[in-house]
Amino acid sequence: MNFDYNEEQQLLADSVRRYLAKSYDFEARKKIVAGKGWSAEAWAQFAEMGLMGLPVSAEHGGFGGGAVDLMGVMEAFGEALVVEPYLPLVLATRLLKHSELLSGVVEGKTKLALAHNEKGARFSLDAVKTRASERGAGWVLEGEKAAVVGAPAADHLVVSARNDNGIALFLVDIGKVSLQAYRTMDEHRAADVMLRGAEAKRIEGGRKELEEAIDFGTALVCAEAVGAMKFACETTLEYLKTRKQFGVPIGAFQALQHRMVEMFISLEQARSMACLACSVVDGGASAAAIARAISAAKIKIADAARHVSQEAVQLHGGMGMTEELKVSHAFRRLTVLAREFGDADHHLARFAAL
């Protein structure tokens, strides 16, 4: 039993945190969001620190890292509300086990995203209507993917589609699809992806690998949410200590003290489940045990994210509603993370079925 990061993990998390503190404060983030939605400079720095190579296997120039290796990074991203599409890259990379593209990924030159979700899917893994048909030596895809986070910045997409044998995975050049890009409620960039006879290359893996990748991604979402909740708790605590009404800091009022304590407990309980989620996807547990632990973690993360974010805004009063404060942006990110790869209801159903 040991809840520490190892030395390498700690060093990486520290260096990411230092970079974000120096170059990715709330003002810097605002400029990125107002621009194209991701910063080439930040991306290059992340690559420099080795983040892009982290999920890539050693044979392709990466580090072959697991979820615990990424946990500290994701937590730091959560605290700083990083908008660069790193998580979509990690997911796509997990599925693209062997490709000449991976060396470009490691260097930060190539961006990938996972295009799996479709309209009305409600987090169901099997709700894939996009069709894949063989044409000559390759494949063509026909269908629509919805709300693909990271697609506007991506060079290639890993796409799930159905052929006669079930769900299969494909690699598609972004030039072969048409995108309807937009800004999400949490200021990330996503797109609906139209696949109209898009040429595609079949890659290894199907439904099982997709589920594994999404469980891996869910563990990372848990870690990122813990970071965002940590920020929300700390900034709210600071506000309670500095905001004065009736001649005293509002943190002197027990009604608010107890609510702050409950936020803090939610954060700690969520952190425990993020530890579980990241450890379990790295370890040798059975597929069912992993799925059950991931769903348990996501139930807690979803509940805690909702609780902490809503209370953070409430305890800030009117200021919590404004664009001006970072807390309202954390609120939006946590609202999305609570639902990413399945909301609490989805995971309650999955947890009970296992």
Find the binder of other proteins among 180, 257, 314, 322 (CB under 8 A). Answer: 257
Nearer to other proteins, 134 or 268 (CB): 268
Is 286 near other proteins (CB under 8 A)?
Answer: no
Q: Which is nearer to other proteins, 189 or 271 (CB)?
A: 271
| Partner residues linked to 191 by β-bridges | 148, 181
CB 271, CB 262: distance < 8 Å = no
| CB 267 to other proteins: min, Å | 10
Residues 6 or more apart whose CB falls under 8 angstroms from that of 248 comprise none
Q: Which of 252, 321, 335, 343 binds other proteins (CB under 8 A)?
A: 252
Within 175-234, the residues that bind other proteins by CB under 8 A are none
User: What is the bridge-based pairing of β-strands 244-245 and 248-249?
Assistant: antiparallel
Euclidean distance between CA atoms 128 and 110, whole angstroms: 26
Please tell me whether residue 276 binds other proteins under the rule CB under 8 A.
yes
HSE-up (13 A, CA, CB side) for residue 271? 16
Least distance to other proteins from the beta carbon of 197, Å?
A: 42
Of 203, 199, 196, the C-alpha closest to 172 is 199
Q: At what angle do helices 207-242 and 254-282 cross, to 10 degrees?
A: 160
State yes or no: residue 242 binds other proteins (CB under 8 A): no
Residue from 159, 161, 275, 281 touching other proteins (CB under 8 A): that is 275
Smallest distance, Å, CB 295 to other proteins? 9
Among 117-125, 149-157, 297-305, 309-317, which window interacts with other proteins (CB under 8 A)?
297-305
Residues 6 or more apart whose CB falls under 8 angstroms from that of 175 comprise none
How many residues in total does the chain contain? Answer: 354
258 binds other proteins (CB under 8 A): yes
Closer CB to other proteins, residue 179 or residue 354?
354
270 touches other proteins by CB under 8 A: yes
Alpha carbon of residue 80 to chain centroid: 13
Angle of helix 67-80 versus helix 254-282 axis, rounded to 10? 150
* Interaction between residue 122 and other proteins (CB under 8 A): no
CB of 302 to other proteins, least distance (A): 10
Give the residue with the Cβ less far from other proteins, 274 or 334: 274
Residue 161, interface with other proteins (CB under 8 A)?
Answer: no
Which listed range, 84-92, 158-166, 186-194, 235-243, lies at the site for other proteins (CB under 8 A)?
235-243
> What track of x and - describes contact with other proteins for positions 70 through 109 (by CB under 8 A)?
-x--------------------------------------
170 CB-near residues (< 8 Å, 6+ apart): 132, 139, 141, 158, 159, 160, 161, 200, 201, 202, 203
Applying CB under 8 A, the span of 159-167, 212-220, 312-320, 342-350 interacting with other proteins comes to 342-350
Closer residue to other proteins, CB minimum distance, 269 or 310: 269
Decide: 205 and 95 in contact? Cβ < 8 Å: yes
Q: Which one of 21, 40, 185, 261 is in contact with other proteins (CB under 8 A)?
A: 261
Is 264 a residue that touches other proteins (CB under 8 A)?
yes
Dist. CA 132–CA 199, nearest whole Å:
10
The distance of closest approach from Cβ of residue 168 to other proteins in the complex, given in angstroms and rounded to an integer, is: 33
List the beta bridge partners of residue 160. Answer: 169
In this structure, the number of other CB atoms found within 10 A of the CB of residue 184 comes to: 15
Beta strand pairing call for 138-149 and 131-135 = antiparallel
Q: What is the rounded CA–CA span in Å between residue 256 and residue 263?
A: 11
* 260 contributes a contact to other proteins by CB under 8 A: yes
Binding residues (CB under 8 A) for other proteins: these are 1-6, 68, 71, 237, 240-241, 251-252, 254, 257-258, 260-262, 264-265, 268-273, 275-276, 278-279, 296, 299-300, 303, 345, 348-349, 351-352
